[in-house]
C-alpha cells in the first residue's frame, strides 16, 4: 500500500451479521462541550439495501417452493474514527506499535453501543439491540486517512483475535441444561433474572443511572421470587445479604431519579448487582442438581 499523504486517524471497525438499526451514513459523536470526539460510519453490506426494500414489499403472501435457498444475510459495518488526527505519521506508528488492541476494541464498542442506545430511544424501538464482542464477525483496529477510511481503506490495521471461550464441558452444558429445564417445565426463568441482565447491560454500557433504577426493582423482585428456595442454606444467606442492601439500592435509585450518580454510588450499584447475580447463579445450581 502506498505511503499515506494526509493526516492519520486511529479507528476501530466491527462487522455484525445483522442490520444494526441507524441508517447508513456518517454520525459525529461529540464529547465534552460539544467538541467532536469520533465520527461513526455505518454501511450495510452483502444484501439488498434497506431503502430499496420498501418498494419491493409484497402486499400479498407469496408461494414458495419446498426447501427454499438461504436468504442473503445483511452485514453491518461500523467504523469508528477518532476526530483528532495524530500529530505526525511517526506518532501514529508509535501508537500502532504500543496500542492495547483489546482495550481499543472495547472502547470502540462502548461508543457504538452509545449510538445504538440513542437510536433505540429516538426510534421508540425496543428491538434495537446493542452489540457485544462475542457477536462480531470481525473487529479491526488500525490507522488510516480520513476520506479513504470512509470507503473502507486504511493504511494499516490488525484483526483483533476473538475472545477465548470459557473452557470445560460444564461451562458449555450448563446453559443448555438450564434451557432444556425451562422449556421442559422443570425450571422457570425469573423476572428478576431479566431485570438483572438489563441492569448489567446498562452498567457495562456506562449508564449507571439506568442501572441503579433497574437494580432497585430487580432486587425487590428477587427477594420475593427467591423465597421458595429460602430453605436451602446456599440461598438463605444470600437472601439475607440482599435484604440488607435494600437501603443502599434505594438511595442509589433515588439519586438516579434526580440526576446522575457519583463514582461511589456507581460502585455500590456494581457491588450489589454482583451479589444479586451470585444469588441467581446459586438458585440455578440448586434447581439443576
Reduce the secondary structure of 224-278 to three states and give it as a string.
HHCHHHCCCHHHHHHHHHHHCCHHHHHHHHHHHHHCCCCHHHHHHHHHHHHHHHH
* pLDDT range class, residue 171, cuts 50, 70, 90: low
- Residue 56, in any domain of the structure: no
- Same domain? For 117 and 251 the reply is no
- Same domain? For 181 and 283 the reply is yes
* pLDDT range class, residue 148, cuts 50, 70, 90: confident
DSSP category for residue 220:
H
User: Exposed, middle or buried by CB within 10 Å (0-12, 13-18, 19+), for 211?
Assistant: buried
- Same domain? For 240 and 181 the reply is yes
Domain span at 75: 8-50+69-159
284 versus 253: the higher-pLDDT residue is 253
- Same domain? For 217 and 275 the reply is yes
DSSP category for residue 33:
G
Segment 206-218 mean pLDDT: 96
List the grid coordinates of 46: 452483502
167 versus 95: the higher-pLDDT residue is 95
- Same domain? For 28 and 108 the reply is yes
Find, among 128, 129, 117, 112, the residue nearest to 38 by Cα. Answer: 112
Predicted local confidence at residue 31, as pLDDT: 83
- Same domain? For 150 and 252 the reply is no
Residue that finishes a domain, picked among 159, 177, 208: 159
d(C-alpha 75, C-alpha 138), whole Å: 11
User: Exposed, middle or buried by CB within 10 Å (0-12, 13-18, 19+), for 256?
Assistant: buried
d(C-alpha 101, C-alpha 138), whole Å: 13
d(C-alpha 70, C-alpha 49), whole Å: 17
Residue that finishes a domain, picked among 108, 129, 159: 159
Predicted local confidence at residue 82, as pLDDT: 96
- Same domain? For 218 and 283 the reply is yes
* pLDDT range class, residue 63, cuts 50, 70, 90: confident
Instruction: State yes or no: pLDDT of 215 exceeds 80.
Output: yes
Q: Residue ranges of the alpha helices (H) in the chain?
A: 50-53, 89-98, 101-123, 146-150, 169-183, 191-204, 208-225, 233-243, 246-258, 263-287
Backbone torsions φ then ψ of 287, nearest 5 degrees: -70, -25
- Same domain? For 110 and 195 the reply is no
- Same domain? For 276 and 189 the reply is yes
Instruction: State yes or no: pLDDT of 210 exceeds 80.
Output: yes
Predicted local confidence at residue 47, as pLDDT: 61
111 in Cβ contact with 40 (< 8 Å): yes
- Residue 141, in any domain of the structure: yes
Predicted local confidence at residue 289, as pLDDT: 59
- Residue 202, in any domain of the structure: yes
List the grid coordinates of 171: 461451562
Residue that finishes a domain, picked among 159, 181, 210: 159
List the grid coordinates of 54: 420498501
- Residue 60, in any domain of the structure: no
- Residue 55, in any domain of the structure: no
- Same domain? For 147 and 181 the reply is no
CA 243 to chain centre: 29
- Residue 61, in any domain of the structure: no
- Same domain? For 254 and 283 the reply is yes
- Same domain? For 188 and 270 the reply is yes
DSSP category for residue 49:
-
**How many domains in the chain?**
2
- Residue 63, in any domain of the structure: no
Predicted local confidence at residue 4, as pLDDT: 65
> Using one digit for the tens of pLDDT, what is the confidence trace for 73-94?
889 999 999 999 999 999 999 9
Segment 17-34 mean pLDDT: 91
- Residue 100, in any domain of the structure: yes
DSSP category for residue 138:
E
Amino acid at each position: 500500500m502506498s505511503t499515506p499523504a494526509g493526516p492519520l486517524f486511529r479507528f476501530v471497525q466491527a462487522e455484525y451479521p445483522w442490520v444494526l438499526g441507524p441508517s447508513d451514513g456518517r454520525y459525529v459523536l461529540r464529547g465534552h462541550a460539544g467538541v467532536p470526539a469520533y465520527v461513526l460510519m455505518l454501511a450495510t453490506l452483502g444484501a439488498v439495501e434497506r431503502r430499496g426494500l420498501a418498494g419491493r414489499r409484497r402486499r400479498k403472501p407469496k408461494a414458495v417452493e419446498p426447501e427454499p435457498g438461504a436468504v442473503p444475510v445483511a452485514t453491518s459495518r461500523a467504523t469508528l474514527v477518532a476526530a483528532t488526527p495524530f500529530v505526525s505519521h511517526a506518532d501514529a506508528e508509535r501508537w500502532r506499535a504500543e496500542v492495547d488492541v483489546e482495550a481499543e476494541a472495547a472502547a470502540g464498542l462502548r461508543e457504538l453501543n452509545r449510538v445504538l442506545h440513542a437510536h433505540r430511544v429516538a426510534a421508540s424501538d425496543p428491538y434495537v439491540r446493542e452489540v457485544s464482542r462475542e457477536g462480531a464477525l470481525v473487529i479491526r483496529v488500525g490507522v488510516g486517512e480520513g476520506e479513504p477510511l470512509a470507503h473502507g481503506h486504511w493504511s494499516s490495521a490488525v484483526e483483533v483475535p476473538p475472545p477465548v471461550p470459557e473452557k470445560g464441558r460444564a461451562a458449555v452444558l450448563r446453559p443448555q441444561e438450564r434451557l432444556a429445564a425451562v422449556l421442559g417445565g422443570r425450571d422457570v426463568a425469573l423476572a428478576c433474572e431479566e431485570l438483572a441482565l438489563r441492569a448489567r447491560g446498562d452498567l457495562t454500557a456506562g449508564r449507571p443511572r439506568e442501572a441503579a433504577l433497574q437494580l432497585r426493582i430487580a432486587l425487590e423482585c428477587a427477594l420475593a421470587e427467591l423465597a421458595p428456595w429460602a430453605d436451602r442454606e446456599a440461598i438463605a444467606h444470600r437472601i439475607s445479604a440482599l435484604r440488607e442492601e435494600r437501603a443502599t439500592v434505594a438511595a442509589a435509585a433515588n439519586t438516579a431519579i434526580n440526576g446522575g450518580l457519583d463514582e461511589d454510588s456507581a460502585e455500590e450499584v456494581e457491588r450489589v448487582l454482583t451479589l444479586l447475580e451470585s444469588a441467581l447463579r446459586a438458585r440455578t445450581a440448586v434447581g439443576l442438581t
